[in-house]
Amino acid sequence: MDGIPLVPSCVVAPLLIAVDFDGTITLRDTLHVIVDAHGRPGLWDQIEPALRSGEMTVEEAMQTQFATVTAAHDDVVALVREQAGTRPGFADLVAFAEAGGHRLVVMSAGFRCVIDEVLGDLGLRHLEVVANDAIFTTGGCTLVWGDHRGDTCEICGRRCKRHAIRERHADERLIYVGDGISDRCASLLADQIFARDGLAEWLVQEDVPFVPYEDFHDVIRVLRTDPAVVEAA
């Protein structure tokens, strides 16, 4: 047997796992948490119908919300740590991905300065993050549209997550995990969608199949048993 290489009993199909942040990695949307505490409480409820119907873009909604926010960066981060929470199992999903040689990227319409702190608390600051950003001061908030560049999306007409995924996607099977409006276009690129809340409702309306989830352990269980992920050698 000397000199004969060991052949693994299975072949693992590589994955690109794209995971939304607000309301997905976090239990509460950090944007809403920040606006309710340091801006105009209830503003999201007022503008959400226009956003859902397409009368307002995600960027327009964020500009409207954060035009009311006055808070220092440290106060915003402390608030998010106290009130947003994180969904169980995300660190386990990262460990699953890294052990299997898969790529995992966090894709958000939210703010890098907040996302980095939350991931840091989980010991996951090394993850690739595609997001916007914000500069928080007691005199006001400035939004920075940093990471969403490139061509406009053929579905929503914006520079959304869809382009960022295409830039990173090679030949892997694409997995998308999300919950909201900013996940709609990007999720349609995926081979497998995990959805909850508003994204799940929209996918039902569009007759697009998805797997519901409550936490990331649900996602891991499905991926571990998916025959398209693990195939007999």
Task: For residue range 9-42, list pLDDT tens digits in order.
Answer: 344 578 999 999 999 999 999 999 999 999 998 8
Assigned CATH for 10-232: 3.40.50.1000
What local confidence, expressed as pLDDT, does residue 26 receive?
98
For residue 53, what are its two tokens?
């119907």
Q: Are 61 and 158 in contact (CB under 8 A)?
A: no
What local confidence, expressed as pLDDT, does residue 20 receive?
97
**192 closest CA partner among 171, 177, 182:** 177
Task: For residue range 153-208, list pLDDT tens digits in order.
Answer: 777 767 678 788 888 888 889 999 999 988 998 999 999 999 999 999 999 999 99
Task: For residue range 46-88, list pLDDT tens digits in order.
Answer: 888 888 888 888 889 999 999 999 999 999 999 999 999 999 9
**The tokens 């030949």 sit on which residue?**
171
What local confidence, expressed as pLDDT, does residue 9 receive?
39
Strands (E), the chain: 10-12, 15-19, 103-111, 128-137, 140-144, 173-178, 192-195, 211-212, 230-232
**Count of all residues that appear for the chain in the document:** 233
CA distance 146 to 51: 22
CB atoms near residue 231 (< 10 Å): 11
